[in-house]
Structure formats: structure tokens, C-alpha cells
């Protein structure tokens, strides 16, 4: 390798590291703005109980509305502009919470804040996929693990600030603002650097604004892409339910204390963080299909067992195992989506997948909450989740997912000179 190639490789790795750190602080900021502060803050504003759901879900709506258009625009305008826009929202939104005096204002701020993640995640994943064509499974998973570190730290930092300040909401949102501004400053330094190798060149003639809808239709008509999106939607439908109702089950049925519950849920996040890059690397070498199918089956079996135990150690093992099964699937779906669609639609592919994911994650707690309210039986709740996962595995296994390139799917043989 000559000196020029070595310099390119170093810049390449530094750029990826900067994107991961940017993602860590961005997701730390957005998660800390809601967990655990959102519920008590909304209550302190006198939010009617029947409208609490609006406040809680306000930030998820932009994901459904804007992920696909924003990621598609990154195919046209370049990734840098969209990432800068999203990190500006991460930096500015936290300070708007300081001005909130009524619940509807809180809902509006949450709605605005939701645009940050809706834009950032699919565009960042598209950037990584375009930059590392031979290792996109591993690198997308590593990036997502970095964001999960931020997601995992947020409840502990937020809870500590609330405890120390006696539920000082303004103090907490100032901390949220510091994390958001940090992400924005990294973006400014990194994305505006003339030596940066992140993709930002004008896109090809195929990726014009007039052809954006045709690109969406191309993805929507791709049966393989629809199968992957269906699996992703089911995964996040189930994950949204597990994240909320497994906690409730452990407290109400298993009788575990808050510390034990936090350990069970925290180790699930640790399992995700550790296993995603490993599974992503495996899918780069062996293909995407098998990790997706096996991950769905592992998760289905473990959630089926949940109502049969109330013991801490078993629930801990189930939670860790579920985190591993979930990681097997989501480490492979994003790179497979890139494999199945045209090179000029990488951003649109990630946006499409993100949109379907948000639909699943939004519907999961709502539908499962209704089911639990009607039946008052946790066993039916977890059995239904297990059935959904099993069905998704069967449907994906039977689907003719044409176009996967395995091993080492490639957009090019070497890192793009205009890439990250």
C-alpha cells in the first residue's frame, strides 16, 4: 500500500469514528429528553391523562412523515447537508423545552425534536453503506451500536440529574442541550472540512427531484425489499412492546424491584451493543438471510417463555438472549436493503426501511396495550409477539429475495474517494 492509500485509509477511519461519536451524542440527547423526564414533565404541566399519549408519540410521527423524503434528498443534495440539518435540530430543540408552559407546547417541541432522528439515522446509515460497500453490515452495525451506547446512558444520566436537582426539569434539558450542541459542533468540524471524504458530490442524473417518486415506486415494487421491510416492521413492533411491557410484567407480576428491572433491561442494551457489529460482520461474509431467520426464531422462542417465569435470573437470560436475537435481524436488514436496490437509491432505501420501522414501533405499544387492557393476561400478550416473530420468519424464508450479493456485497471494489 503506497503512502497516498495509507493517508486515505486513516482519513477514512477517522471520518467513520467522528460519525459514530456524532451519533452517540445525538441519540444521547434525544433519548435523555424523554427518558425518564418526559412523563413527569408532562404531568407537571397538567397534561390531561387522555392526552398523554399525544405527548408521548409526538416525536415518532416525523419518522413516518419525513424519513423517506429526507433520505431520498440526501441522494440528490448529498449526505452532508442533511446531516448538518438534523444535528442543528438536535442542538436547537432542547432549549425550546425551557420555554414550555403548557402541554400542547410540549407536544409541538417533541414533534420538532422528532425530525432530528428521523433525518439523521437513515442518512447516516446510507452514508456508511455507500462508504463501506464490502463491510456495510459490520459498519452499519458498529454505528448503530455507538448510538445505542448513547441510548443506554441516557436514562441513567437523566435520572441522576433529576434526583440531584429535585426534579429540576430545566437543568435536565440544559444537559440535553449540551449533548445536542456537542453533536452539532462535531458535525460542523467534520462535515465542513474540505478534507472530509464523506459523500457530498452531486448525485447522478438518475437521482433528480423529478425522479424521486419513481425511485420510491421502484423500491415499493421490489418484493425482496418489501419482505425485508415487513421483517423490520415486526421487529420494531415487538421491540417497542418489550421495551415498555416487559418492565411492567417484571414489576407487577414478577414483583422485581426497580434495581432488578433496570439490570434486566440494561443488559439487553449491552447485548445489543456488543453483538450488532459481530453479527453484521458475519452477515457480510455469509449472507443476510440466515441471521434474519434465526434471529426471528430465537426471539420468538424466548418471548414465548416469558409468561412461564418470574425468576430474576431467568428473565435476565431471556432479556439478554432477546437482545442478541434482535441484533441478528437488524444487523442484516439495513445492508440487505442496500443490496436489493439500485446504487443511486441507497438513501431512499434506508429512508423507506426507517419509515416502515417507525410505523411498526408506533403501532406495537398501542395495539398491545389494547390487547392487554381487554384480556388482562400477559401470557396472551407475549404469545402474540412470539407468533408475529415466527410468522415473519416464515414469510421471509419463503419470500424470493432476489438480488442479495453474498458474501461481501459490493457497490465498488474500493472505498469511494468521495465517500466518508
348-392 per-position pLDDT tens digit: 899 999 899 888 888 888 888 888 888 888 999 999 999 999 999
Q: Are residues 60 and 176 in the same domain?
A: yes
- The answer to whether 405 and 339 are in contact (CB under 8 A) is yes
As a whole number, mean pLDDT of residues 329-338 equals: 91
Task: Tell whether 420 is covered by a domain.
Answer: no
Q: Are residues 227 and 87 in the same domain?
A: no
Task: Tell whether 418 is covered by a domain.
Answer: no
- Which residues, 6+ apart, have CB-to-CB distance to 25 below 8 Å? 150, 179, 180, 182, 183, 186
Q: Are residues 26 and 103 in the same domain?
A: yes
Q: Which residue has the higher pLDDT, 97 or 414?
A: 97
Task: Tell whether 411 is covered by a domain.
Answer: no
Per the listing, cell 449540551 goes with 178
Task: Tell whether 29 is covered by a domain.
Answer: yes
Task: Tell whether 281 is covered by a domain.
Answer: yes
State pTM to two decimals: 0.78
In this prediction, residue 404 carries a pLDDT of 53
In this prediction, residue 7 carries a pLDDT of 46
In this prediction, residue 77 carries a pLDDT of 83
C-alpha cell at 148: 445505542
Task: Tell whether 419 is covered by a domain.
Answer: no
Percent helix, strand and coil across the chain, each to the nearest 5: 80, 0, 20
Domain that holds residue 148: 1-203
Q: Are residues 292 and 222 in the same domain?
A: yes
Q: Are residues 170 and 317 in the same domain?
A: no
In this prediction, residue 49 carries a pLDDT of 74
Number of structural domains in the chain: 2
Candidate from 6-20, 214-228, 291-305, 402-416 with smallest mean pLDDT: 402-416
Q: Which residue has the higher pLDDT, 270 or 390?
A: 390
Which residue stretches of 242-311 are H helix? 247-252, 258-286, 289-305
Task: Tell whether 63 is covered by a domain.
Answer: yes
Of 154, 185, 203, the domain-final residue: 203
- Which residues, 6+ apart, have CB-to-CB distance to 300 below 8 Å? 385, 386, 387, 389, 390, 393
User: If pLDDT is split at 50, 70 and 90, which confidence band does 316 have?
Assistant: very high
Of 171, 203, 235, the domain-final residue: 203
Q: Are residues 176 and 133 in the same domain?
A: yes
H or E element that contains 172: helix 169-191
Of 203, 226, 253, the domain-final residue: 203
In this prediction, residue 200 carries a pLDDT of 53
Q: Are residues 196 and 271 in the same domain?
A: no
Please say if the pLDDT value at position 126 is more than 60: yes
Q: Are residues 228 and 197 in the same domain?
A: no
Q: Are residues 240 and 219 in the same domain?
A: yes
Name which of 194, 23, 209, 37 is nearest 119 in CA terms.
Answer: 23
Q: Are residues 36 and 185 in the same domain?
A: yes
Q: What is the CATH number of the domain that holds 8?
A: 1.20.1250.20
Q: Are residues 84 and 109 in the same domain?
A: yes
As a whole number, mean pLDDT of residues 276-283 equals: 89
Specify whether the backbone of 125 is left (phi greater than 0), alpha (psi in -120 to 50) or beta: alpha
Distance CA 123, CA 138 (A): 17
Candidate from 160-164, 199-203, 285-289 with smallest mean pLDDT: 199-203
In this prediction, residue 173 carries a pLDDT of 97
In this prediction, residue 415 carries a pLDDT of 41
Candidate from 20-29, 43-52, 206-215, 248-257 with smallest mean pLDDT: 206-215
Task: Tell whether 415 is covered by a domain.
Answer: no
In this prediction, residue 95 carries a pLDDT of 97
Q: Are residues 294 and 221 in the same domain?
A: yes
Please say if the pLDDT value at position 403 is more than 60: no
Write the pLDDT tens digit of every residue in 229-244. 999 999 999 998 888 7
Please say if the pLDDT value at position 57 is more than 90: no
Amino acid at each position: 500500500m503506497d503512502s497516498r492509500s495509507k493517508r486515505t485509509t486513516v482519513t477514512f477511519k477517522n471520518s467513520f469514528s467522528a460519525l459514530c461519536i456524532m451519533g452517540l451524542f445525538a441519540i444521547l440527547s434525544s433519548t435523555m429528553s424523554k427518558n425518564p423526564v418526559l412523563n413527569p414533565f408532562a404531568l407537571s404541566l397538567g397534561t390531561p391523562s387522555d392526552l398523554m399519549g399525544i405527548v408521548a408519540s409526538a416525536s415518532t410521527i416525523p419518522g413516518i412523515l419525513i424519513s423517506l423524503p429526507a433520505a431520498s434528498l440526501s441522494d440528490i443534495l448529498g449526505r452532508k447537508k442533511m446531516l448538518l440539518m438534523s444535528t442543528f435540530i438536535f442542538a436547537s430543540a432542547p432549549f425550546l423545552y425551557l420555554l414550555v408552559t403548557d402541554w400542547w407546547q410540549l407536544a409541538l417541541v417533541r414533534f420538532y425534536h422528532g425530525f432530528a432522528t428521523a433525518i439523521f439515522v437513515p442518512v447516516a446509515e446510507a452514508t456508511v453503506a455507500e462508504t463501506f460497500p464490502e463491510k456495510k453490515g459490520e459498519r452499519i452495525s458498529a454505528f448503530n451500536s455507538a448510538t445505542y451506547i448513547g441510548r443506554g446512558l441516557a436514562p441513567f444520566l437523566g435520572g441522576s440529574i433529576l434526583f440531584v436537582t429535585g426534579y429540576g426539569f430545566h437543568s435536565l434539558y440544559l444537559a440535553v442541550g449540551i449533548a445536542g450542541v456537542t453533536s452539532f459542533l462535531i458535525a460542523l468540524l467534520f462535515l465542513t472540512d474540505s478534507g472530509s471524504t464523506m459523500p457530498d458530490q452531486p448525485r447522478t442524473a438518475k437521482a433528480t427531484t423529478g425522479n424521486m417518486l419513481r425511485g420510491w415506486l421502484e423500491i415499493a415494487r421490489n418484493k425482496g425489499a418489501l419482505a425485508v421491510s415487513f421483517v423490520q416492521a415486526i421487529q420494531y413492533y415487538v421491540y417497542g412492546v418489550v421495551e415498555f411491557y416487559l418492565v411492567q410484567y417484571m414489576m407487577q407480576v414478577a414483583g422485581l424491584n426497580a434495581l432488578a428491572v433496570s439490570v434486566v433491561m440494561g443488559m439487553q442494551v449491552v447485548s445489543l451493543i456488543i453483538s450488532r457489529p459481530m453479527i453484521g460482520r458475519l452477515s457480510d461474509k455469509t449472507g443476510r438471510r440466515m441471521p434474519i431467520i434465526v434471529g426471528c426464531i430465537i426471539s420468538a422462542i424466548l418471548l414465548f417463555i416469558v409468561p412461564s417465569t418470574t425468576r430474576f435470573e431467568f428473565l435476565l437470560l431471556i432479556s439478554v438472549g432477546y437482545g442478541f436475537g434482535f441484533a441478528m435481524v437488524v444487523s442484516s436488514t439495513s445492508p440487505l436493503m442496500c443490496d436489493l436496490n439500485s446504487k443511486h437509491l441507497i438513501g431512499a432505501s434506508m429512508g423507506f426501511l426507517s419509515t416502515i420501522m417507525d410505523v411498526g414501533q408506533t403501532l406495537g405499544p398501542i395495539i398491545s396495550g389494547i390487547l392487554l387492557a381487554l384480556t388482562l393476561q400477559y401470557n396472551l400478550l407475549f404469545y402474540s409477539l412470539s407468533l408475529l416473530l415466527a410468522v415473519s420468519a416464515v414469510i421471509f424464508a419463503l419470500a424470493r429475495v432476489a438480488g442479495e450479493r453474498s458474501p461481501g456485497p459490493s457497490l465498488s471494489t474500493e472505498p469511494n474517494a468521495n465517500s466518508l
